[in-house]
Amino acid sequence: MLRELTKDKSRGLLGYTLLTGSPRTYYVVQYWESREKLYVYASAPDMFHRKAWAVINRKEKKSRQHVGLWHESYIVPEGGYESIYADMPAYGLAAATEVLPVRARGRRAADRLAHRSSSEGAA
Residue pLDDT, tens place only, 73-111? 888 887 778 888 888 888 888 899 888 888 777 888 888
pLDDT digits (tens, 9 = 90+) for 21-33: 888 888 999 999 9
If you write DSSP's letter for every residue of 76-121 in order, what string do you get? --TTS-----SSS---THHHHS----GGGG-SSHHHHHT---SS--
- List pLDDT tens digits, range 47-83: 999 998 888 877 776 766 666 778 888 888 877 788 8
pTM beyond 0.85: the answer is no
Closest CA to 34 of 98, 90, 77: 77
Q: CA 41, 42, 46: angle at the middle one, nearest 5?
A: 65
